[in-house]
Chain A
Amino acid sequence: MSAKKYFALIAIVTAIFIAFLYFSSHIFGGYTITVLGSIYIFIILAISYNLINGVTGQFSLEPNGFVAIGAYVTAILLISPEIKSELYMLSEPLPLIRDVFLDPSKPFNPFFALLISGAFSALVALTLAFPVFRVRGDYLAIVTLGFGFIIRIFLINNPEISNGSMGLDSIPGFASYFWIGVACLVTVILVYNIVYSRYGRAMKAVRDDEDAALAMGVNTFKIKTLAFMTSAFFEGVGGGLLASSIGSISPDQFTFMLTFQLLIIIVLGGLGSMSGAIIGTILFLGGMELLRPLDQATKHLGPFHGIPGLRMVVFSILLLLIMLFARRGLLGDKEIWDYIKIKKFKES
């Protein structure tokens, strides 16, 4: 594809998506908009997690840690000092934490807060990369899993920074449906460009055979660190958006369950496939919402009626069936357009 054609394609996708964002916020009710909003945020988290886990093939279990960092940095930056001194109930906030403030009513400030959150996460990822990438495979999973726990315990045990287990609330809600959508689009385009760049190919080489990649002159440590930092950056941004869209955060929100949800999403869509991660997110979050009537005892579904709690049973069975029949996820490690291309090729 020539550069001209490529930019035209991106422009078209952007235009269609922005139009969809604009019209959907007018057509759909508040509920659908909220669900779509959380889908966009999880797309950001899933594709960035996919970058390290699927594309680079480093089985790490850290996203909950980076999402928590992003969420807390955004919250601390955007809550005013007055509210903070009222909010910190367990101990006085550190002067630095209390006074750092980007007025969210000024334009671009929320945007800067998100960038700082992402950068902060990326910085933590950089320091983490040195010890973490000394190990591979299962060991890497355990080390990164530990990181997620450390972040949560740090947040709980340092009330002067994070207000401990009480968490923070009254976070300004700058993350409207439209801006979450735009952030999602930007992330998808950026990550796509990384995956199909020289670095992306190096990442895939590391995934397929790290020793061979090393022998071919790829600096595997550098590549892995880059993938890790990029992933952490977008997870931080996603965390910031999450904090703003819900309005309150607490350490319990960022347990291993969050990582686990993201892992389900990317395995469901197909490890290493970007469009798979997007489809996985839509199926995971959308499916969970679509099955809601199963919980309602008053809703009749043929001869049956709903039982509170039935939804999660059905949802788990569906996940099981999908994984049984599509062992490598829905799309494997290919993209959705690869399938379309193959079909076209066969037809011609």
Chain B
Amino acid sequence: MKKLVALGLSALVASTLMAKEIKVGVLQPLTGPIAAFGQKTLDGINLVHSKYNKLPNGDTIKLVVVDNQFDKIQTVNGYKRLVSNENVVAVEGPLASSMALAVKRFASDTKTPTVTQIATNPRVTKGTNYITRACFTDDFQGTVAAKYALNHKLDNAVVVFDMKQDYSVGLAKAFMKAYKKGGGKILKTLFINTGDKDFNAQVAQIKKLNPKFIYTPIYAPEEGLFLRQLRAAGVKAPVMGGDGIADPGLLKKLAGKAANGVMYTDHFDAAKAPTKLSAEFIKEFKAKYNRAPSAFAATGADGYLLIYNAVKQCDTPANSKNLSEFKACVNNALRHTKNLEAVTGYLTIDPNTGNPVNKPAVIEKIVDGKTQFVELVKP
């Protein structure tokens, strides 16, 4: 018995000597107001991590998950914990733009490669070399909506946006810029506030203006009620939103039949796998969690795959002795990612801006509480 224990112990010691653990930090909102988004993201990350955690030389990647509670102070503390206590080589997160902006300075100060998988605000990657984005920006999403409208000869529009959400304001701005440039005419911009229930004032104005297109970069709870009131008033113009309304179940619940035909731009469509890897991901995700992966899960997986790919290139014996050189190498590899097969498509990062290039968006349509693929828009 003693011998066995000794043997086991020595085997354990030997294995820890041979194969190292490389830590990757995950900083997401797991509690707090947007905990659901963080949990969905974590599901996606865990799934790809369980598959891609071994590196060619036998080392393994270990995830260190930290909650940021959607709070700036907690975000900064959690980030510092990952970087200086856990000695991670890279951090994935945080998910919201406002939180990503809070870690911007600390990413530069500590020279830690940070991948924010779904923070769409253009300022997040501006002026730092250490934040890399795995998704498109608000500018692009707004442009896609404008292009779609103009291509379908919908050349005058009303924009309805949420004054309280930076996401909504950014998207509305980007849409208006691209739309005007393409020859479209903005008849009016109307604003609402998060939590509003009554949109009759806005709907009455829209009815009077009779636009060909209505762009609503707001969130699903307001969108649902807005649609119901809009259709009840007899306005038939097509409505489009951003990824904030990508919740067909909730829209159906709130708007009933009025939700039919509403379109939105999104990162990813679970029914249309763009790569072989994503087909596998969708299949395994359904098997494990019993539901289709959302855009949060898909982009979460993308962020991890970006980091995995970079760490794979940098995990050399020389690097493993020096953490700061390892981090510099990972950051460089992240920024020079080319044609990486991921869940939402093939990822190529622009080394200067840290944003992905040629990342397509999908346009989806809601029919009977389900999403239907409309088209894929490439930049």
Contacts and interface: CB of A to CB of B under 8 A. Distances in A.
Kindly state the interface size class of chain B when it binds its partner: 35 or more
Interface stretch (B61-69, B313-321, B342-350): B61-69
5 contacts: A90-B173, A173-B105, A297-B65, A308-B67, A312-B69
Interface stretch (A6-14, A30-38, A93-101, A123-131): A30-38
A326 interface: no
Interface in A6-56: 29-35, 38
A249 to B, nearest CB: 8
B186 to A, nearest CB: 16
Question: Shortest 4 CB-CB distances between A and B: which pairs?
Answer: A30-B84, A29-B84, A34-B80, A247-B105
A31 B84 contact: yes
Contact of B80 (A30, A157, A295, A298): A30
A248 interface: yes
Interface in B75-89: 76-78, 80-81, 83-85
A85 interface: no
B41 to A, nearest CB: 11
A156 B77 contact: no
Given A34-B77, A289-B81, A292-B66, 13 more contacts: A31-B77, A31-B85, A33-B80, A35-B80, A38-B77, A87-B123, A164-B169, A167-B166, A173-B105, A248-B98, A252-B98, A296-B64, A309-B30
Contacts of A109: none
B31 interface: yes
Contacts of B339: none
B163 A157 contact: yes
B166 A298 contact: no
Given A248-B98, A253-B72, A295 B66 contact: yes
Given A35-B77, A89-B173, A169-B104, A29 B67 contact: no
B298 interface: no
B163 A156 contact: yes
Interface string A242-269: 1001111110110001000000000000
A183 interface: no
A204 interface: no
Contacts of B235: none
A165 B169 CA distance: 8
A89 B170 contact: yes
Contacts of A298: 62-64
A332 to B, nearest CB: 28
A169 B123 contact: yes
Nearest to A42: B73
A310 B19 CA distance: 31
Nearest to A253: B72
Nearest to B123: A169
B30 A246 contact: no
B263 interface: no
Interface string B27-44: 000110001000100100
A312 B31 contact: yes
A158 B163 CA distance: 10
Interface in A192-248: 242, 245-248
B102 A165 contact: no
Q: Is the interface of A mostly helix, strand, loop or mixed?
A: helix
A173 B64 CA distance: 28
Nearest to A307: B30
Contacts of B101: 167, 169, 247-248
Nearest to B121: A166
Given A298-B63, A308-B67, A165 B42 contact: no
A249 B98 CA distance: 8
A196 to B, nearest CB: 31
A248 B72 contact: yes
B163 A165 contact: yes
B8 interface: no
B104 A247 contact: yes
Interface string A296-320: 1110000000001101100000000
B102 A247 contact: yes
Contact of A308 (B30, B73, B102): B30
Contacts of B104: 169, 247-248
A6 B127 CA distance: 50
Nearest to A242: B73
Contacts of B378: none
A242 B77 CA distance: 13
Q: For A31, A89, A164, A250, which residue has the most chain B Cβ atoms within 10 angstroms?
A: A31
A164 B85 contact: no
Contacts of A289: 77, 81
Contact of B83 (A30, A87, A156, A292): A30
B42 to A, nearest CB: 7
A254 to B, nearest CB: 10
Contact of A292 (B72, B81, B121, B170): B81
Contacts of B98: 167, 248, 250, 252
A306 B39 CA distance: 15
Contacts of B63: 298
A29 B83 CA distance: 10
A164 B170 contact: no
Contacts of A308: 30, 39, 42, 65, 67
B242 to A, nearest CB: 15
Contacts of B77: 31, 34-35, 38, 289
Interface in A168-202: 169-170, 173
A317 to B, nearest CB: 14
Interface string A276-306: 0000000000001100100111100000000
Interface string B110-128: 1000000000010100010
Nearest to B122: A89
Contacts of A309: 30-31, 35, 67
Contacts of B80: 30-31, 33-35
Nearest to A28: B84
A295 B68 CA distance: 11
B164 A165 contact: yes
B352 interface: no
B191 to A, nearest CB: 10
Interface in A305-345: 308-309, 311-312
